[in-house]
A and B are shown apart, each in its own frame.
Chain A
């Protein structure tokens, strides 16, 4: 048992923290508004080879384990970095798991850095269920024709390639019959509406109206994509929770500094026990969240049931704590904490949107109960 980072991960963490501390400037954040990412920060991360930490050596990377993800995403969250790295993990992970030799070239490009990916999976009525897919693909000549709608596809308009989930057989709610396609940017028959997200970044609504794809766009076997999606989403959930943990650490630090410097009634407000106890509660819960992230990252390589129990346990707990930290940090700051100008705001927004991806705290609590009973 050991809770120290390896030397390599320590170096990665130090390097990332230094780089992002310098690179995530107000200008970079401003630049990210129109597309959802900062070209400069994205290029910098590519240069550092950060995406390599998301993939195993076999896949061409140098990491790929749970604690590699934790190391990278905690730092991205700590800096509140405007980047689509999570989409590289999510879509890239699926391609690495299922892709043909030629499709694997995208993973190499992802490791080298720079390629933009997205995973178009959720639909207006799927909410957080992985298997509730209605978008259909039907054989059309040599290739396939897609019909349906994907909702809130993060980085969808920016991605050079989008992994799209569809149903090739069966009914919504069934695990069998889900297939994946690799769709290049600019495919005909795809209507895209791009928009900014509360937490930063962009997403798109994607409507497929007879969009055609060639036969070799199929990713993996026809109808058998569920396991790969669930695995990739488990890893992305771990990464997103680590990101939230980093953001919480920043919110905590900002709040601590504020309590020390802000004076009211003739003394620093941190002298007041009412605020001290709120701060202590926040710290206790952040330690809980850290342990939950460690638990999930430490079980990402375990058998499916063990892994998924930890996915739901951690997403539930971190979801609850993220809400508490965002709300309490604002409360302890007072009005300044609600302003766009002050730094806390964007971290509070980032934290408050954690629940909205891959399942909220209540949804995962229910799932945990069902997994435990199974």
Chain B
């Protein structure tokens, strides 16, 4: 047992930190720090900076243009980028589709699509959930019927994050109604500009149209856009979900959120003293900090096992549950910490560069939107209840 990073890992951390100091535009880190909205161009700018360094796809092997980092190196990168308030890397192409194409895609698909993810030619979104298929993902109903060299797709996807920016969507579609629901699903790549596709934004309780509904009406998709084999899509989908879950503990986000909470609690006054000196509030911060200290070590245990080649099992489900609950608690305490200035709902103040200044202190304006928006954490990526069922089944073998 050794909780210290190796000299090589420390050197890597220093390299990442130096790179961020030099290359992360202040304009972007200011926005992230204040919780302001990032535009499509903001994300693309940051992606391009990372891609130039060869660091955009940390999880991809070098042969596909990735950085080829192991789990520990990816963890260090995530810690440093979140601590520096860098924009997050949009995961759909890089963290989700990329690994699926590398594992199950044809040579042609890899050669065509992977470079386009790296250089930003394509913005991908995820076509998994449907109105009738949330946690029960295998019950997807969107159909794809073969017609010559094409599939004809009909149906609806929903909760499509940042679908408004995307030109491509990877979808789970039903190609067979035979057998178990899992057996008739295929994995299809669809151009969002194809005739018959309609995107309708869904405004969430934080006032943001972060997610969308995507409708398919006789959309013709080239059969060459099928990934792997027909009716084997469930296997690929599950593979993708394991990748989605490995980083889902969100230790970096939690650390950044906790630091922000403490900063706010020092600036806010209660009873004529800094809020952080209120013993009851300080105890609530301490409780979540202690939980985070332990969770971060659980995460390192899983990361370290993954770097040694072990596949994550029920641990990633445990991390998903614990990590999301901790982040939600930090969001809730932050909302409490800012006090009455959590109430103003002036959406424009979250746009950088507008004339609309914050109503109260600048650190207060994102507290409520973040609190509301992050209710999603325990719902998406397999709800926490689904994760608990997975954990119990793995242990009880029932």
A301 to B6, CA, bound (A): 18
Contacting pair B304 A279 (CB below 8 A): no
For residue A152, give the distance in angstroms from its CB to the closest CB of chain B: 27
Is A292 positioned at the interface, with any CB of B under 8 Å from its CB? yes
Q: Does A50 contact B (CB under 8 A)?
A: no
B293 lies within 8 A of chain A by Cβ: yes
Once the chains are docked, how many angstroms separate the CA of A316 from the CA of B286?
10
Query: For the complex, is A273 an interface residue (Cβ under 8 Å from B)?
Result: yes
Q: Which residues of B contact A287 (CB under 8 A)?
A: 298, 315, 318, 322
Choose among B3, B314, B322 the residue with the greatest number of A CB atoms under 10 Å from its CB: B3
Which among A23-31, A168-176, A336-344, A363-371 touches the partner chain? A363-371
User: Quick check: B286 and A369 within 8 Å, CB to CB?
Assistant: yes
For chain A residues 122-146, which have a beta carbon within 8 Å of chain B? none
Q: Is the CB of A1 within 8 A of B3?
A: yes
Known: A287-B298, A295-B293, A317-B291. A369 touches B279 (CB 8 A): yes
Q: Pick from A5, A280, A291: contact of B295, CB below 8 A.
A: A291
A279 CA to B398 CA in the complex, in Å? 13
Chain B 304-323 against A: per-residue CB contact (8 Å), 1 yes, 0 no? 11000000001100100110
B:210-231 near A, CB below 8 Å: none
Q: Is the CB of A316 within 8 A of B290?
A: yes
In the complex, per-residue mask of A240-270: 1 if CB is within 8 Å of any chain B CB, else 0: 0000000000000000100110000000101
Contact flags A328-348 to B (C-beta < 8 A → 1, else 0): 000000000000000000000
CB-contact partner of A1 in B72, B286, B315, B396, under 8 A: B72
The contact of A276 among B279, B289, B393, by CB within 8 Å, is: B393
Complex CA–CA separation, A256 to B393 (angstroms): 11
> Which residues does chain B contribute within 8 Å of A1, judged by CB atoms?
2-6, 9, 72, 300, 304
Q: Residue A279 contacts which of B285, B305, B395 (CB distance < 8 angstroms)?
A: B395
Name B300's closest neighbour in chain A (CB-CB). A1
Stretch of B49-57, B360-368, B372-380, B384-392 on the interface side: B384-392
Q: How far is the CA of A337 from the CA of B300 in the complex (A)?
A: 35
* Chain B residue with Cβ nearest A286: B318
Cβ-based interface call for B205 (8 A): no
How far is A259 from B397 in the complex, measured between Cα atoms in Å?
10
Contact A284 B389 (CB under 8 A): no
The answer to the question of A67 belonging to the interface, with a C-beta cut-off of 8 Å to chain B, is yes
Give A237 Cβ to nearest chain B Cβ, in Å.
14
Q: How far is the CB of A99 from chain B (nearest CB, A)?
A: 29
A157: chain B residues at CB < 8 Å are none
Query: Which applies to chain B's interface (DSSP): helix, strand, loop or mixed?
Result: helix
Chain B contacts for A270, CB-based, 8 A:
392, 396, 398
Given contacts A67-B1, A284-B318, contact A291 B298 (CB under 8 A): yes
Tell whether B42 is near chain A: CB-to-CB under 8 Å: no
Answer yes or no: B116 CB below 8 A from chain A CBs.
no
Residues 292-324 of A, flagged 1 when their CB comes within 8 A of B and 0 if not, give 101101110000000000000100110000000
Q: Verify A283–B318 contact, CB threshold 8 A.
A: yes
Q: Are B396 and A273 touching (Cβ within 8 A)?
A: no
What is the size category of the interface that chain B forms with chain A? 35 or more
Min CB gap B73→A, angstroms: 11
B291–A260 contact, CB under 8 A? no
- Chain A residues lying within 8 Å of B397, measured Cβ to Cβ, are 260
Closest CB in chain A relative to B274 CB, distance in Å = 10
Chain B: minimal CB distance from A271 (Å): 6
| A contact residues around B263 at 8 Å (CB) | none
The residue of chain A having its C-beta at the shortest distance from the C-beta of B318 within the complex is A284
A185 to B65, alpha carbons, bound, how many Å?
73
CA distance A4 to B310 in the complex (A): 13
Picked from B286, B294, B392, the residue with its CB within 8 Å of the CB of A292 is B294
A284 touches B279 (CB 8 A): no
Chain A interface size, as a band, is 35 or more
Give the distance to chain B from A64, nearest Cβ to Cβ, in Å: 14
Interface centre among A4, A280, A281, A289 (most CB of B within 10 A): A280
Residues of A within 8 A of B318 (CB): 283-284, 287
Instruction: Determine if A193 is an interface residue (Cβ-Cβ < 8 Å).
Output: no
Residues in chain B near residue A291, CB distance under 8 A? 294-298, 301
Which residues of chain A come closer than 8 Å to B396, judged between CB atoms? 256, 259-260, 270, 276, 279
Q: Are A368 and B72 neighbours in the complex by a CB distance under 8 Å?
A: no
Q: Which residues of B contact A4 (CB under 8 A)?
A: 1
| Set of chain A residues within 8 Å of B259, measured between Cβ atoms | none
**Is B11 part of the binding interface, using a Cβ–Cβ cutoff of 8 Å?**
no
In the assembled complex, which residues on chain B have CB atoms less than 8 Å from the CB atom of A373?
276-277, 282
Distance from B296 Cβ to chain A, minimum over Cβ atoms (Å): 8
From residue 3 to 47 of chain B, which have CB atoms closer than 8 A to chain A?
3-6, 9
- Give which listed residue, A5, A292, A317, A366, contacts B1 with CB less than 8 A: A5
Write the chain B residue with the least CB distance to A257. B396
Residues on B with beta carbons closer than 8 Å to the beta carbon of A292? 290, 293-294, 297
Residue of B9, B290, B304 contacting most chain A CB atoms (<10 Å): B290
A248 to chain B, nearest CB (A): 14
* A2, CB-defined interface residue at 8 Å: yes
A316 to B288, CA, bound (A): 11
- Jot down 14 A-B pairs with beta carbons below 8 A, ordered by A: A9-B1, A70-B1, A256-B395, A260-B398, A276-B388, A276-B389, A279-B395, A284-B391, A291-B296, A291-B301, A292-B293, A295-B3, A295-B297, A368-B290
Binding site for A on B (CB under 8 A): 1-6, 9, 72, 276-277, 279, 282-283, 285-287, 289-291, 293-298, 300-301, 304-305, 314-315, 318, 321-322, 385, 387-389, 391-393, 395-398
A interface residues with partner B (beta carbon < 8 Å):
1-6, 9, 67, 70, 256, 259-260, 268, 270-271, 273, 276-277, 279-281, 283-284, 287-292, 294-295, 297-299, 313, 316-317, 365-366, 368-369, 372-373
